[in-house]
Structure 1
């Protein structure tokens, strides 16, 4: 006996698209716009959505029950955002049915497009060395900045696996960067400690978070913009405090 699966609802498809985008680092106004476009493509032109960095509230036509989805984990995955945008455009153009869109969104949610930790550490090392040169450092600071940046990024990822508070992980990673920079200068392996530190902390700086905060504020999403700005400020304070503790041993 064949049992037919229940087709997905418009609300579930919209919430899944919004969840993937918000967890991947999209701006809140982009998430709301995508959800409303998908709903409108299926004939629901009066949908209402309210998105914050930690939750999504969505309702259709004011007649269906209002749905809420909690967002507890957020990262940066621009590839997933691009995939959801592509699915949204295909739905708007009538190229995907609701069931097909739901299946593609489910697969996108399950897939992981991030690079392995090894490649992330290598990228952090290269970024750190290049930023040290870009901020008027000498080539003598290139290798120390690479090593300190790689060690700091690896430490942040490992500490974050052990401790759920990302700010604490960023603080400890910054302490390690400060200590390594101090050690390189003490061993005369680098020329300027400030240039080494500036380059090494760049992979930890919440650049996307700051950008999204400004964009949300400009779009009129004051709650989301201020909360993301506060999160970026706390991250900056954690990095600064960690560096201060690390170099205080001089």
Structure 2
């Protein structure tokens, strides 16, 4: 009986850890629940129940003794590579190629893994992407480098302000304000031509595209609470970005 309880505890810990890694790194709510259920089924725990929200995970196993645990999610970022690796671990458990103990070791290592790309690499990617978005929106090549600099400045600002004041919407508001100031500066000095195109290209790295996508997919899958909460977060993020730009433009 004690051995069975220990095995049940191991299953719950692996399922919760898998769900935590996925939810913290951009996984959809329905995908998190499905992965946890598949892992539990593969380990012989057929009667499992999971309830996932953007800020917490409830998971229980029915048996001789009902076991339920909760894990809280306080930080969320975007790293779809980790989501893919959790899916791979889940498939290996289902196929019998990975024991529950080894799966916990791999998931724990994955959870503690630092970002694949350093901040300078992310900064360069965001800056170059801003210039590319400007061209995609039919901007002038003369505005390419102003958009690169403004987009890079905005990405640097959102990380900098987020460390000073850990309030996501405040840091995004200030970052978009910095982008607006840089865009106006380039146009007023003659280094830039189209203010609107420079601003549009520069704010694109800040746009919550994954949040919007996950909100829609969760709503379509029937997860109304998660879908609405993610949609509200995406709306507030977009509002913060727009408010920062509007504040700069209002002084023109």
TM over 0.5: yes
CA RMSD of aligned residues (A): 1.1
Q: Are 2:35 and 1:34 equivalent residues in the alignment?
A: yes
* Unaligned runs of at least 5 residues, structure 1: 1-5
**Alpha-carbon distance, 1:184 to partner:** 0.5
**Residue 18 (structure 1) aligns with:** 19
Separation in 1 of the partners of 2:145 and 2:248?
19
Alignment of 1:88-99 (within 5 A): 88-99=90-101
Give the SS at the match of 1:9. helix
Number of equivalences: 245
Query: TM-score scaled by structure 1?
Result: 0.96
Q: Tell me the distance in 2 between the aligned counterparts of 1:157 and 1:13.
A: 32
Q: CA deviation at 1:50?
A: 0.4
8 Å CA contact 1:210, 1:229 repeated in 2: yes
Aligned to 1:223: 225
Of 239-248 and 221-230, the range deviating more from structure 2: 239-248
Residue in 2 that maps onto 1:65: 67
Structure 1 residue corresponding to 2:155, chosen from 129, 134, 153 = 153
The 5-angstrom pairing of residues 1-250 of structure 1 reads 9-61=10-62, 63-250=65-252
TM-score (norm: length of structure 2) = 0.95
Aligned residue number for residue 3 of structure 1: none
Cα distance change, pair 114–158 in 1 and its aligned pair in 2 (3 A): farther
Ranges of 4+ aligned residues in structure 1 off by more than 6 Å? none
Unmatched tracts of structure 2, length 5 or more: 1-5
**Which secondary structure state, in structure 1, belongs to the residue aligned with residue 67 of structure 2?**
coil
Structure 1 residue 167, shift from structure 2 partner: 0.6
State whether residues 57 and 66 of structure 1, in contact with CA within 8 Å, keep that contact through their aligned partners in structure 2: yes
Q: Secondary structure at the match of 1:76?
A: coil
Structure 1 window deviating more from structure 2 (23-32 vs 53-62): it is 53-62
